Amino acid sequence: MTESTHTLRGSGLIATIKAQGAELCSLKNDAGIELIWQAGPAWPRHAPLLFPIVGRLKNDELRHRGKVHRMSQHGFARDRRFGWLERRPTRCVLVLSDDAETQAIYPFPFRLEVHYSLDRAGLEIRFQVVNTGEDMLPASLGGHPAFNWPLLPGEPKENYSLTFCRDEPHPIRRLEGGLLRASALPSPLDKRTLRLTEALFADDAIIFDRIESSSVRYGAERGPWVQVSWSGFRELGIWSKPSGAPFLCIEPWRGYASPAMFDGEFSDKPGLMQIAPGADASLSFRIETGAS
């Protein structure tokens, strides 16, 4: 344990969290297999936190009460150092609040807590977004954990699939220039199963904006698997580098990139949470692992 990182140890998992971005940077199972992408040259992150936006704003501009603020893709939380509120062997809590720097690009008071908790079955990540201001707080939040693909070195990537807990009959959405395309596309799933290939990500992320499931399992027929389940999140993104990379991101979202035709006030952007003064929003996702 250092000032920069904290390690949680349980009977089946070891998780390491960084103060920078409140980011999960390692998750090893009881066999010592690293499940999280180790920020190699293909992409320099592990599991960034997306706040106060998910995806891009048109022209990277946040419009609020006649002023234009510049905010880049996925917001600023992933690049800010959080404070430690609690550090225990199987639990830690980190916090980020607004300051002059955040107000310059996101003119809203807030408090964001990230709670990591390790138990026998898995790792739970819970988020609490508190409106500390006097007006409505418009915000989005998302997880972005990148898992090694393949989970076992040398295994063909095409052996892997995603299995959703429910059928997913609805069309998917795609991005163009980082913004949400107006038209939906047929789902690439066969009922509950998405066979994974690098070609799936030629057009960037696969976005489920009408997701029926509350969990998805990632793995091959044999070997380790990872299951991600979520509560409070309404959308799901699946992403890897379009050029091909040895990781797969399973991303519970509350919100999504600006629609390509949207150019209005930030508070009117589709997909946002609207948190009343003094109120809070609680969202969580959970990572479990096993072997087949």
Domain with 197 in it: what CATH number?
A: 2.70.98.10
Asked if 249 and 239 touch (Cβ cutoff 8 Å), the reply is: yes
Q: What are the strands, taking DSSP E only, across 243-279?
A: 247-254, 273-275
Counting every residue written for the chain, the total comes to: 292
Asked if 149 and 35 touch (Cβ cutoff 8 Å), the reply is: no
pLDDT value of position 191: 87
Which residue type sits at 3?
E
Which of 250, 258, 234 is CA-nearest to residue 181?
A: 258
CA 85 to chain centroid, in Å, comes to: 22
Structural domain that includes position 225: 5-291
Asked if 200 and 239 touch (Cβ cutoff 8 Å), the reply is: no
CB-side exposure of 5: number of CA atoms within 13 Å?
10
| Per-residue tokens: 238 | 């699946």
d(CA 255, CA 74): 11
pLDDT value of position 2: 78
Number of domains the chain contains? 1
List the chain pLDDT tens, one digit each, 292 residues: 579 999 999 988 999 999 999 999 999 999 999 999 999 999 999 999 999 999 999 999 999 999 999 999 999 999 999 999 999 999 999 999 999 999 999 999 999 999 999 998 899 999 999 999 999 999 999 999 999 999 999 999 999 999 999 999 999 999 999 999 999 999 999 989 999 999 999 999 999 999 999 999 999 999 999 999 999 999 999 999 988 899 999 999 999 999 999 999 999 999 999 999 999 999 999 999 999 8
pLDDT value of position 1: 56
Which of 277, 198, 241, 11 is CA-nearest to residue 118?
A: 11
- Please report, for residues 103, 173, 254, the alpha-carbon distance to residue 200 in angstroms, rounded to integers and kept in the order given: 38, 13, 23
Q: Which residue has the tokens 């699939």?
A: 161
pLDDT value of position 292: 86
Give the chain's count of helices (H) and strands (E).
1, 23
d(CA 261, CA 257): 11
pLDDT value of position 11: 84
